[in-house]
Structure 1
Amino acid sequence: MSNSVQPNITTPIVRDDLGQTLPNVQTGLGPLLGLVGNWNSPQGASSQSGYNVMPLPQDNTPASDNVILRNFHYYEEMTFSAIPGDAANRGGDYQQNCWVLFYEQRVYFGFDAGPAANTLVHAENGDWLHLVNVQQDKGATENPNDPEPLPTGGIPQPMFPIVKQVSVPHGNSILAVGNATTGTGAPQIANANTIPTGQGVTSALKSIYNNGVYDPNNLMLNPNKILQDHIETVNEGDKLIESYIQFDVSSKNGNGDVRNILFEYKKAKVTDFHTTFWLETLKDGTKQLQYSQTIEMTFADNPNVTFYHIDANTLVPVAQDA
């Protein structure tokens, strides 16, 4: 059923308890601090900045090897809230402090989704972590005069200090880890590629992907084009991107993982997850948030094929008095 009334995406979903105002939290969050707040993307049909390519298994479509594509523009709201402290992992000779941003995200079908326009298509929540290894704190029952053991050579820092933990109500849980880097000017956003890979890719399957011929100017094949076009058209004057922080996390890094409920495991198994966020500072002092997310999947009818569910969007902060 269609929704003729657009949802309100200006009210924070996650309650902000002002944890980010504490000096230790500000320091602990490090590069994640700038994400705090409520973000959304344009709702107007002519300005929607999100694009989604979503392959789905469909048994009565043999002409496309029992796969269909649902591609559409979308808009969304995303809220990040800092907790007023950290979560400490004790290791015996040093500890790891997890500085936490809880987040929630809701995504709505855009103008080209037919009767589904303005209805919810996706929701998720979870957290982003900044990991910092430090000397152990003394507990209340510990002798303060006992020497604190330290690893030989000092305390090592995490190889992957940025973590995204995702809970998706399809029955998927994701742990993705990675790093944050900085840059000046606008980020160079690489092309994405939605064309399936693997030994099981048939000509019938390729038929719904431009016959397998890659074209970076085709949104269906390169959803990142919507990010690239936004930078090309908006990146000037007061909206010139002066610097950015880039967050890259993947389930393939470190001890990352993806888990699926049994239905998903058998029918449409998520195998890996990757996302890149670009937190950009503009010349006028405002912020902009861009991201590209890739979910790798296999389907029951196509076990030797990797499918790529990719979406990308540009968001801006919601005014505090909205």
Structure 2
Amino acid sequence: MTDVTPPDLSKPLLIDPAQDNPPAPTTELGPLQHLIGTWTNQPLGNSGMGGTDKPFSYCLMPLPQEASYILKNFAYYEELTFSAIHGTAPNRGGLGTQVANTLFYEQRVYFADGPAKDQLVHAENGSLLFLSDQKQLLGPYGNGEKPGLGSETVPNSVPPTQAYNFIKQMSVPHGNSILASGHFQSGTGVPTIPMLSKSDVLPMGLPHDVSTDQYSTKSVGNLNPDFTLNPNQPLTNALEVSPPKKFILLEVDTAHSGIPVTNIGFEQQHANVSRYAISYWLESLDGSDNFTQLQYSQNITMEIPIQGQSVTFPHITTNTLVKKV
């Protein structure tokens, strides 16, 4: 087998076209403005861990095989770039306008251990939206029929209201498109990472003769059974060596809006994604607004047919990243 060359993580995946005027409206992005830049796995504190060789990450990946399933679990490292666009996406309707303030992102994920070390295992792109409610501009450019740009609004205009102000749109080259909505909230000190239990990670609906023993057994497809039974544990371990003083929690879930995940035909038949949810913890180590540490726990629910039954499998990924300077 030819040795795999580790990827070059020194350059951002996404570069916004240079435009001095108007500048990218970063302040309108709310908490998303702190994500702008490139994030990678880097050593945390003096622990010597957290980099590409010993990342605080885990992937729980069930795969269909023959009349059953196998596991392909591993640690991974990644590069994740967020870039603000030079404008907004206003949605008009009724007497108001909902403005989508937008970040584009690109992600590349690589095996950190196992026989496929340093090979690309996942890639995706998409956008994060911070929604704001505004009155409706008068005419196409806010000046009615007058020339130039303006800020006049329609008489009796009323800003709309919506249940959620944080949106994630994503495309995955397995043939999945996802639109999830949610909220954000701020906190002080070290965030509490939920401890996952067997009921959170084990498949539901297995035929009676199909076991879950491989989840707790070390094998080539399950290198760390302790993390398999609690994929959030690497996040907690990272916080012990690099504790923040404040954080912003951003959460989205396709269940909030009832919008189904879109899957291509093959995936619908063999590994249909029925739900997507992710929690981001954007963290400041010094208590300022300098957020330099990013953690996430993502859960993709897959429906895999086994012996004629539809079995629900959680596919969970977690990682701790540091912003490049």
Task: Flag whether TM exceeds 0.5 (same fold).
Answer: yes
Q: Residue 176 of structure 1 contacts residue 257 of structure 1 at CA under 8 Å; is this kept in 2?
A: no
**Runs (5+) with no aligned partner, structure 1:** 212-216, 236-240
Q: CA deviation digits over 1:35-82, x for unaligned, max 9?
A: 0001101485652222101000000xx5xxx10000111000000000
Q: Is the 8 A contact 2:78 2:108 kept in 1?
A: yes
Provide the C-alpha distance between the structure 2 equivalents of 1:21 and 1:179, rounded to a whole number of angstroms: 31
1:254-265 matches, within 5 Å, as 254-265=257-268
**Partner residue in 2 for 1:247:** 250
56, 76, 98: which one pairs with 1:96? 98
Range that drifts further, 245-254 or 282-291? 282-291
Give the structure 1 partner of residue 177 of structure 2. 173
SS at match of 2:231: coil
2: CA distance, partners of 1:242 / 1:19: 35
Change (3 A) 1:204 1:301: closer
**Counterpart secondary structure, 1:253:** helix
Q: What is the aligned partner in structure 2 of residue 84 from structure 1?
A: 86
Select which of 290, 293, 297 maps to 1:292. 297
Task: Go from structure 1 to structure 2 and tell me whether the alpha carbon gap of 1:173 and 1:147 turns closer, same or farther (over 3 Å shift).
Answer: closer
* One-letter code aligned to 2:315: H
Residue type of the alignment partner of 2:161: Q
AA matched with 1:71: N
Give the equivalent residue in structure 2 for 1:219. 227
Q: What corresponds to 2:221 in structure 1? A: none
> Per the alignment, do residues 20 and 28 of structure 1 end up closer, same or farther by CA in structure 2, a change over 3 Å counting?
farther
Q: In the alignment, what sits opposite 1:238?
A: none
Take 1:183 and 1:146, find their aligned partners in 2: how far apart are those partners? 36
Q: Which residue of 2 aligns with 1:160?
A: 164
Q: 1:14 to 1:45 in 2, by over 3 A?
A: closer
Question: Deviation string for 1:118-149 (max 9, x for gaps)?
Answer: 01000000000001110011224845799534
Asked whether the 8 Å contact 1:10–1:40 carries over to 2, the reply is no
Indicate the residue corresponding to 2:10 in structure 1: 10
Give the letter aligned to residue 279 of structure 1: L
Conserved 8 A contact 1:2-1:118: no
Contact conserved, 2:165 with 2:182, CA < 8 A, in 1?
Answer: yes
1:180 touches 1:245 (CA, 8 Å); kept in 2? yes
Residue 137 (structure 2) pairs with residue 130 (structure 1): no
Distance 2:129 2:276 in 1: 17
The SS at the match of 1:85 is coil
Counterpart mapping for 1:18-167 below 5 A: 25-42=25-42, 46-59=53-66, 66-111=68-113, 113-114=114-115, 116-140=116-140, 142-143=144-145, 147-150=154-157, 154-167=158-171
Q: For 1:257 and 1:139, locate their aligned partners in 2 and report how far apart those are by CA, in whole Å.
A: 35
Instruction: Tell me the CA shift for residue 157 of structure 1.
Output: 3.0
Q: CA RMSD in A?
A: 2.5
Is 1:184 matched with 2:179? Answer: no
Distance 2:18 2:80 in 1: 17
Q: Deviations over 1:197-251 (max 9, x none)?
A: 23x353523222239xxxxx9201111000011112332xxxxx11101100001
User: Is 1:277 the equivalent of 2:280?
Assistant: yes
Give the deviation of 1:84 after TM superposition: 1.0
- Tell me the CA shift for residue 286 of structure 1: 5.5
Report the more deviating stretch, 277-286 or 19-28. Answer: 19-28
In structure 2, C-alpha distance between the alignment counterparts of 1:293 and 1:299, rounded to whole Å: 19
Instruction: Say how many residue pairs are matched.
Output: 298
Task: Give 3-state SS (helix, strand or coil) of 2:62's partner.
Answer: strand
Deviation for aligned residue 1:301: 2.0
Do the aligned residues in 1 keep the contact of 2:39 with 2:80 (CA within 8 Å)?
A: yes
Return the offset for 1:24.
7.7
Change beyond 3 A, Cα 1:20–1:102: farther
Separation (CA, whole Å) in 2 of partners of 1:291 and 1:276:
5
Matched residue type, 1:287: T
Task: Assess if the C-alpha contact under 8 Å between 1:109 and 1:121 holds in 2.
Answer: yes
Normalising by structure 1, what TM-score?
Answer: 0.85
Q: Is the 8 A contact 1:3 1:117 kept in 2?
A: no
Q: Evaluate the alpha carbon distance shift between residue 298 and residue 315 of structure 1 in structure 2; reply closer, same or farther with a 3 A threshold.
A: same
SS state at 2:235 partner: helix
**2:137–2:153 Cα contact (<8 Å) kept:** no
In the superposition, the TM-score normalised over structure 2's length comes to 0.84
